[in-house]
Amino acid sequence: MKQVFFQNDSVYMIMEYVKEDLNCYLQCKKYIENPKGWLKQMLAAVSYLHRQKVIHRDLKPENVLVSADGILKLADFGSARERFMDEINLTPQVTTLSYRAPELLLGSEYYSSAVDIWSVGCIFAEFQTSNSLFESIDSKNQSEVTTIALIFEKLGTPTEDSWPGVSLLPNFPQKMPLYPQAAEIIPNLDPLGNDLLMKMLCCNPTNRITADLALEHPYLRGFG
């Protein structure tokens, strides 16, 4: 935001012009030159939001702008909400499907700022592959059921031991195969990177890493 002024009973906002978003960048370049730096920028921005008690609720590459000097800027706060407790009762129908956290897909009415961390984890994975981690081949007809099946297949099916109460959530698929827990998510990502990604893409939101702790992870420590 550069300036705000009133004229003829209207409000005008002058904002920085950023012509490219992260989705366009990934489609055009197919790789990220500075994945650690960009991940750190996103986490720092999300950490700031969460300290202000704001949940973005729609983090995806299209909502991350890339300035000419390589600075990432979070955009589109139309779904953002302020939270007053650790968990809030809001609609789970938020966040684009491929970046939607399991607790939302499974119909939990209560969720926390951990939903943003899941979305950042999905974007981080996309840095490595240039493809959405949990998007089906027929993405136009992808459903919540398809998405949760992709998540469980890639990460392992959560159990009552790993996520107490998960089987009681409204949309939990009772006949879902018991997929084993993944040892790594991205084969060409180094062990520290995979460890951080696993912590960000932890199905149990209670055990999911926070933005502040992610910034202190050894994968990013001392970088930038």
pLDDT score recorded for residue 141 = 77
| Homologous superfamily of 19-215 | Transferase(Phosphotransferase) domain 1 (1.10.510.10)
- Give pLDDT tens digits for 131-152: 899 988 777 778 899 999 999 9
Can you tell me the mean pLDDT for 195-203?
A: 97
Number of other CB atoms surrounding residue 92 within 10 Å: 21
Question: What are the tokens at 158?
Answer: 């959560």
Q: How far apart are CA 77 and CA 1, in angstroms?
A: 14
pLDDT above 70 for 94 = no
Of 69, 141, 138, 150, residue with least CA distance to 105:
150
Distances (CA, A) of 102 to 142, 169, 170, 200, 216: 15, 10, 12, 12, 25
Residue 58 designated active-site: yes
6 φ, ψ (degrees, to nearest 5): -110, 140
Q: Which helix (H) or strand (E) holds 12?
A: strand 10-14
- Give pLDDT tens digits for 20-59: 999 998 888 767 888 999 999 999 999 999 999 999 999 9
- Taken as a whole, the chain contains a residue count of 224
Give me the catalytic one of 21, 58, 86, 212: 58
Query: Is the CA virtual torsion 97, 102, 103, 105 positive or negative?
Result: positive
